[in-house]
Chains A and B, each alone.
Chain A
Amino acid sequence: MTAPTMQAHPAGEHDAAVAVHPGGSGMPTALVGMLLFIASEVMFFGGLFATYFNARASVAPGEWHPPPGGHLDLPLAAVLTAILVASSFTMQFGVWAIRRGDTGKLKLWTAITLALGVLFLAGQIYDYSQLGFGIRDGAFGTVFYTLTGFHGAHVFGGAVGLTIILARSMRGQFSQRNHVAVEAVSMYWHFVDVVWIGVFSTIYLLR
């Protein structure tokens, strides 16, 4: 018996091959996967936010602040927010570019997004070094560093993803019809940005 061939068969049966259309209609399967993964990440950050709000609710009103000797740097955090939000825009420009088939612009915008992301991380680390309190310094220190730290880790993960699609785009692996990885990474990057907006609003604005 040789390899299976396309045989004439009565209408109504379905060749197994028909079942294998990759994604077929609707969202490509890889993007479905990324969306589901992002849903799980939302719940992960939800757990961390729960610890933040619980710690905050455990102290008297007005008593929720960095420990003595520490402070929060709102201006710097606002700048970091602007950087990250801008990077979402540049990421989306890159996505729109490759949807038009413009591989050159894809490379450009991806590179800029990556640079902004790295700038954010550098700024975050600089911020940490200036704050005057650590994770060991009571409930405030613990939840502050955990929430911002794991967000930063996710920015780092996103940066790794951006590096990969930058490298792949420089090798000409993306086209108008074939660039699922770019879409997926961009989804993740926007998610990371939205989480930061939540973190920033909660820690710096809501207080």
Chain B
Amino acid sequence: MATTTLEPRAAGYRRSWVLDWLTTVDHKKIGILYIVNSFLFFFAAGILALVIRAELAVPGMQFVDQDTYNQAFTMHGTIMIFLFVVPVLAGFGNYIVPLMIGAPDMAFPRINALSFWLLPLGGILIFSGYLFGGAAAEGWTAYTPLSGPDYGSTPGTDLWIIGLTLVGTASILGAVNFIATIFKMRAPGMTLFRMPIFVWTVLVTATLILLATPVLTAGLIALFIDRNYGGSFFDPTVGGNPILWQHIFWFFGHPEVYIVILPAMGVVSEVLPVFSRKPLFGYKAFVFATVGIGLLSFSVWAHHMFTTGAVFLPFFAFMTALIAIPTGIKMFNWLATMWRGKLMLTTPMLFSLGFLSMFLIGGISGVMLASPPIDFHVQDTYFVVAHLHYVFFGGSVFGVFAASYYWFPKMFGRKLNEPLGKVHFWLHFIGFNLAFFPMHQLGLSGMPRRIGDYSPDAGWTILNLISTAGAFLIAISILPFLINVIATFINGEPAGDDPWEGNTLEWATSSPPPPHNFDRLPPIHSERPLFFLTHGHGHAAERPEDLEEEPIGESKSGDAERRPEDLV
């Protein structure tokens, strides 16, 4: 297949490397900036997690006082969600989506740059609370009245509000960019139903961001007004309603968790077919399931509020349970993709398989939480902490690492070392389960969340100790990853255009791609344009009009029709 030679820079035009990166509007560089920035925040929030787990290992407050502990878990959640998981997936989207659709860049490159630079600014503002008497300490959910003027920490919470508003704005602008790009800049031949699933998940995610995040912005502004201008949104003593905050926050908050998981599902949907050497099973069902999850996500928010006594329980229980259906469909589609495939257990594949297993557990605990009577027992306990980490971490973060190993060669022209990658995966996988599986039991036996200390008589000590050990193992597992990245930069094995025998267009150009992405594009007749190019006609049909019901166990005849324009 054709490789593309990089164009050398025109002579005489030298630009400082630093200035280049600071002012770039190239989606590939911006994507890398997103990813690097996100991982820096990941490490910061990870250290906060280690503080939390160190404190909880045994009863007694050994390392920090209660106020510091409360800041730690507040900042851990806020940073992980808003400054790591969402932006890192946006970063991969930024880099990969234009390539996957055969476009030369995003629709609005300068707004793309603005979206990125708002992130470190917002993150610094959020963290700056530590410099001014204490960071926000009301939990990442900042329930009123605790976060309000009478009880909330000052000015940490105000800085948190402002920083988060900037981060949310960045998100919204990014969403506008992604949707416009996907709708307006696809290469000829790439109809919507020939787009890679990763692009579909980014599209639905961007729609969720576009419609949900502004509601959070409204809530944050309202909270700021209450805290600083004598407002009465949430204060019951002056006609406000504390539950209103919960409604506004979770109306955003629930789509937010799908914003976090859908792109990771998209990554898995790219990696699994490549390393099973089969197409994704049930492409159209997958698209509809993704859109269905997106729509449903706006109808379930109050399942975070079952114990407030202010919620019509049957409706929200029903809608929440419904989401299990499209999610189950996706899981079965992934399994069917592997069935009778020829699996290659590379590191990205291992992280994708890990995703399937861990997200399965997280999904199961989610269905349990959807039942109000069960939720009455485990809400606000470590059962919820277990659930959210199995979906956020076992789901999204495993997806992030799958994406990292899968697309690193495309971005930097070198493959990460496989054995080291496998060491990372296994340490990570074992550490993760040690850290979070015991939390199911802790929650079931009644350990509330957001406490820095617990009674030695409660019987929670051993499980907490195991959990802490797992957390530190996760931290250790990052080392082989970092070593791998650095060593590969220095002296890694060159990757070539298509080291994985991929299906999608990003592999049809050099690694890394030239600034304009493509010199020429292969013909696009299916959702696997590169597969068709590689394996040609000697194989089962690729064109959508040929994709009829195939009885399992039989393959179509090997002679697809040849059309003159398809001769490459």
Q: Point out residues on A near B: beta carbons under 8 Å.
A: 1, 3-4, 9-16, 18-20, 23-24, 26, 29, 32-33, 36-37, 39-41, 43-48, 50-51, 54-55, 58-59, 134-136, 138-143, 146, 150
User: Closest residue of chain A to B566, judged by CB?
Assistant: A12
The answer to whether A13 and B568 touch across the interface, beta carbons within 8 angstroms, is yes
Judged by a CB distance under 8 angstroms, whether B518 is at the interface is yes
A135 to B212, CA, bound (A): 26
One of A4, A32, A141 near B183 (C-beta < 8 A): A32
Contact pattern, B 187-215, Cβ under 8 Å of A = 1, otherwise 0: 11100000000000000000000111111
A131 to B180, CA, bound (A): 43
The answer to whether B175 and A12 touch across the interface, beta carbons within 8 angstroms, is no
The answer to whether A14 and B188 touch across the interface, beta carbons within 8 angstroms, is yes
Contacts of B188 in A (CB 8 A): 14, 18-19
A28 to B564, CA, bound (A): 34
Q: Shortest beta-carbon distance, A141 to chain B, in Å?
A: 7
Contacts of A12 in B (CB 8 A): 523, 565-568
| Chain B interface residue bracket vs A | 35 or more
A10 to B522, CA, bound (A): 11
Judged by a CB distance under 8 angstroms, whether B5 is at the interface is yes
Choose the segment among B51-59, B230-238, B479-487, B539-547 that binds chain A (4+ C-beta atoms closer than 8 Å): B230-238
Contacts of B111 in A (CB 8 A): 33
The answer to whether B104 and A138 touch across the interface, beta carbons within 8 angstroms, is no
One of B184, B239, B244, B522 near A59 (C-beta < 8 A): B239
A44 to B103, CA, bound (A): 31
With A3-B7, A11-B565, A55-B233 in contact, is A16–B521 under 8 Å at CB? yes
Judged by a CB distance under 8 angstroms, whether B108 is at the interface is yes
One of A26, A44, A59 near B214 (C-beta < 8 A): A44
One of A11, A19, A50 near B521 (C-beta < 8 A): A19
With A10-B567, A138-B232 in contact, is A16–B104 under 8 Å at CB? yes
* Residue contacts A-B, CB under 8 angstroms, 9 given: A10-B567, A16-B518, A37-B172, A43-B212, A55-B239, A58-B240, A58-B241, A135-B231, A142-B225
The answer to whether B568 and A51 touch across the interface, beta carbons within 8 angstroms, is no
The answer to whether A141 and B176 touch across the interface, beta carbons within 8 angstroms, is no
User: Closest residue of chain A to B5, judged by CB?
Assistant: A1
Q: Shortest beta-carbon distance, B231 to chain A, in Å?
A: 4
A182 to B210, CA, bound (A): 24
One of A4, A14, A16, A32 near B523 (C-beta < 8 A): A14
The answer to whether A41 and B232 touch across the interface, beta carbons within 8 angstroms, is no
Judged by a CB distance under 8 angstroms, whether B402 is at the interface is no
Contacts of B229 in A (CB 8 A): 135-136
One of B102, B184, B226 near A29 (C-beta < 8 A): B184
Contacts of B280 in A (CB 8 A): none
Contacts of A19 in B (CB 8 A): 102-104, 185-188, 518, 521
A1 to B176, CA, bound (A): 37
User: Closest residue of chain A to B563, judged by CB?
Assistant: A12
User: Closest residue of chain B to A48, judged by CB?
Assistant: B218
Q: Shortest beta-carbon distance, A30 to chain B, in Å?
A: 8
A9 to B214, CA, bound (A): 48
The answer to whether A41 and B240 touch across the interface, beta carbons within 8 angstroms, is no
The answer to whether A33 and B108 touch across the interface, beta carbons within 8 angstroms, is yes
A20 to B181, CA, bound (A): 11
Contacts of B212 in A (CB 8 A): 43
A58 to B241, CA, bound (A): 8
A58 to B184, CA, bound (A): 46
The answer to whether A55 and B240 touch across the interface, beta carbons within 8 angstroms, is yes
With A16-B516, A47-B219 in contact, is A139–B238 under 8 Å at CB? yes
User: Closest residue of chain B to A57, judged by CB?
Assistant: B241
The answer to whether A43 and B180 touch across the interface, beta carbons within 8 angstroms, is no
Contacts of B517 in A (CB 8 A): 16
A106 to B226, CA, bound (A): 44
Q: Shortest beta-carbon distance, A155 to chain B, in Å?
A: 17
The answer to whether A37 and B230 touch across the interface, beta carbons within 8 angstroms, is no
Additional A-B contacts beyond A13-B522, A19-B521 (10; CB < 8 A):
A10-B567, A14-B523, A16-B516, A23-B184, A41-B214, A43-B215, A50-B244, A135-B230, A138-B232, A142-B231
The answer to whether B521 and A14 touch across the interface, beta carbons within 8 angstroms, is yes
Q: Shortest beta-carbon distance, A103 to chain B, in Å?
A: 26
User: Closest residue of chain A to B252, judged by CB?
Assistant: A47
Judged by a CB distance under 8 angstroms, whether B248 is at the interface is yes
Contacts of B180 in A (CB 8 A): 29, 32-33, 36
A43 to B523, CA, bound (A): 40
Q: Shortest beta-carbon distance, A55 to chain B, in Å?
A: 7
One of B226, B239, B566 near A58 (C-beta < 8 A): B239
Name B128-179 residues within 8 Å CB distance of A: 172, 175-177, 179
A20 to B239, CA, bound (A): 56
User: Closest residue of chain B to A47, judged by CB?
Assistant: B218
The answer to whether A146 and B221 touch across the interface, beta carbons within 8 angstroms, is yes
Contact pattern, B 97-140, Cβ under 8 Å of A = 1, otherwise 0: 00000111001100100000000000000000000000000000
A4 to B240, CA, bound (A): 65
Contacts of A142 in B (CB 8 A): 225-226, 231-233, 240
Contacts of B232 in A (CB 8 A): 55, 136, 138-139, 141-142
With A14-B523, A23-B184, A48-B218 in contact, is A146–B231 under 8 Å at CB? yes
Q: Shortest beta-carbon distance, A131 to chain B, in Å?
A: 16
A44 to B214, CA, bound (A): 5
A9 to B565, CA, bound (A): 11
A9 to B523, CA, bound (A): 12
User: Closest residue of chain A to B248, judged by CB?
Assistant: A47
A150 to B565, CA, bound (A): 57
Judged by a CB distance under 8 angstroms, whether B519 is at the interface is yes
A48 to B220, CA, bound (A): 11
